[in-house]
A and B are shown apart, each in its own frame.
Chain A
Amino acid sequence: MLEPSTPPHRSQKPAIYMEKIVVGKTPQPVGHELVVPPGSHHIELHFDAIELTSPERVRFQYRLDDVDREWLDADAAVTAVYTGLPVGTHEFHVRACNADGVWDRIGIVYKITQQPYFYQTTWFRLSCVAAFLALLSALYRLRLRQVAQQFNMRLEERVNERTRIARDLHDTLLQSFHGLLLRFQAATNLLSPGEARQRFEGAIDQAAQAITEGRDAVQGLRSSTVVRNDLPQAINALGKELASGETNPNGAEFYVEVEGTSRDLRPILRDEVYRIAGEAVRNAFKHAHAQKIEVEIRYDDRRLRLRVRDDGKGIDPKVLRKDGQPGHYGLRGMRERAKLMGGKLALWSELDSGTELELSIPASRAYETSVRRRSWLVERLARKDTKAKS
C-alpha cells in the first residue's frame, strides 16, 4: 500500500535559501552577500527552505558569527533580526532539520559586511594613538625647554649678581684703598728717614699687595674676562702668564690644543668654563711640580670637552676622596660649577703619574647655536667610516 503522506526519500536535505533582506525599512536584493553602509541599522534576514515532503515539520536554526554564541531556533516567521552589527565581515549560518528531525550540519553561509565609519577604522585609531604620542612628546620637549630656560635664567641671574658685586668692589672699595694708601704714603714721606719710616713703608707695601690680591679676586668675578669665542686664546694667555711668572718654579711648559672647529659658547657658560679651566691650570702650576701642562679643548657635535693634563706628582688619593681640602684644590667648587652648567667634571690622578681633569658639557647647553642635527643613521655611518680609517 502506498501512503501518499509518506515521502519516498526521508533523508533528503531541505534546500535552504535566503528569501528576503530588509535593512531599515528598505528591502535589499539578496545576492551572494550583504553590504551594510556605515551606521547602526535594523536588519531583517528572512530565510526559508524547500522541503517537498512535509514542509510543516521543517525547523530552522541560525547563527551569526561574532554575534551569536550558539545556534538559535528560528520562530515561525523564519526571520533573524539584528541591530548594531559589529564592523567587519561576518558569516550568517542557517541550518534546518528535515521531517525526520535530522539536522543538516552545515546549512548555508551568507556573508554580511558592516561597513565602518571612518573613525571606526584601524588606521584612524592608529593615527589617533600616533597623534597622542606626538602630543606627549611635544609637551615633554616644551617642558624640557622651559626647564632649560629657567636654568639659564637662574645662571644668568647669578652671573649678573656676581658681576654687580665685582663692579661695586672694584669701583668703590679698591679705588678708595688705593687713595688711602697714597695718603699714608704722603704722611710717611713727611717722616725723616729712620726706623719708623721704614716700618710704615713696609706696611704700605703689604697693604698694596693685599689690594692686588683683592683686585685679582674681583677680576676673577667679572664676567668680561672672556670675550667672544676666544676660550682657547684666553686660556692660552692665562697659561702663558702663569708659565712666565714666579708661579712657575719648575719651568713647566704649557700648551693649548684645540680639536674640532671652534664654536661660540653661550655667554653665561663661557666664564664658568674659563674659570674652571683657569683654576685647574693654576692648580697644575702651583701644586703639580709638572714638566708639561696641557689643555685640550674639543668642540664636539655632542659636547664640549675640556681637559687639563699635567705630568706632575699627582694628587694624594686621600685628598681626592675628601673632594679637595678647603681652599686647596677647589675641587668641590669646580664640581658644583660643572653641575650647575649641566656638565660633568671628572678627575684622574695617581701619585707620581700626573693629574687629568675633564669637563664635559652637552652641546645643547654649551653652544650658542646648536648644530643642524644629523640623522642617527648618518651619524653612525660617519662614525663607522672614521673607525674604519683609523
Chain B
Amino acid sequence: MSAEAGPIRILSVDDHPVLRHGIAALVAGQSDMSLVAAASNGREAIQQFRAHHPDVTLMDLQMPEMSGLDAMNAIRGEFPEARMIVLTTYTGDVQVLRAIKAGARAYLLKNSLHKELLETIRGVHAGKKALSPEASYQIAEHSTDDALTPAKSVSCVDLRREC
C-alpha cells in the first residue's frame, strides 16, 4: 500500500448517517485526502476494506450487527498493516483500551473531531501511533506491552484530560 503519491484514501465506518456526512464534508475540503468508501456497521466495513484497501479507516466502536472492535480484529487479521482510528463518544470508554490493544493507531473523541480528525489522519498515515495529535505516544506503547491494568486506564484518563 504505497499511497504516499496520491491522496490519503479513507474508509469511514459509523452507523449514523449524519456523522458520516460530516466526516465526508470535512475530508472533501482537503486536497490530500479522499473518502473512498463508507460503511454503517462492522460487516460492511470488512467488505469495503477488502474492496478498497483504504490507507486509513475511521472506526466507530458502537454499532449494530457487528461492533467496531470485532470488525477491527477481523480486518487486522486479514490485513495486519491496516491503519485504524477509533472514534468514541465517551472518555474512559473501556472499549477504547481494547481497541488500542487490538492495534488501533489512534483514538478520537467525537466532540473533538472537528479540530483533530484531519491532523490525526495525516499523522496515522505518516506512520505515527497517536491517541490524539499532541497526545502522548506513551499510552499506545504501554498498551501493546502487556495487558492493561486498571491503574493504567486511570492514567490514560488523566492524560486525555490534558489534551
Contacts and interface: CB of A to CB of B under 8 A. Distances in A.
Interface in B107-154: 110-115, 117, 154
A204 interface: yes
Given A208-B112, A241-B158, 7 more contacts: A176-B19, A182-B26, A182-B117, A183-B22, A183-B26, A185-B26, A208-B115
19 contacts: A178-B18, A178-B22, A179-B22, A181-B113, A182-B117, A183-B22, A185-B26, A186-B26, A186-B28, A187-B25, A189-B26, A189-B30, A205-B115, A208-B115, A211-B111, A237-B154, A240-B154, A244-B161, A245-B161
A171 B161 CA distance: 24
A21 to B, nearest CB: 95
Given A170-B89, A175-B16, A189-B29, A182 B161 contact: no
Contacts of A182: 19, 22-23, 25-26, 113-114, 117
B22 A215 contact: no
Given A183-B21, A215-B89, A245-B161, A178 B113 contact: yes
Interface residues of A, number: 31
A219 B93 CA distance: 11
Nearest to B90: A219
Among all A-B residue pairs, the 7 with the closest Cβ atoms: A182-B22, A179-B18, A179-B22, A179-B19, A186-B25, A185-B114, A175-B16
B53 interface: no
Nearest to B28: A186
Given A176-B16, A179-B16, A183-B21, A215 B114 contact: no
Given A240-B154, A244-B158, A179 B111 contact: no
A182 to B, nearest CB: 3
A184 interface: yes
A204 B113 CA distance: 11
Contacts of B115: 185, 205, 208
Nearest to A181: B114
A357 interface: no
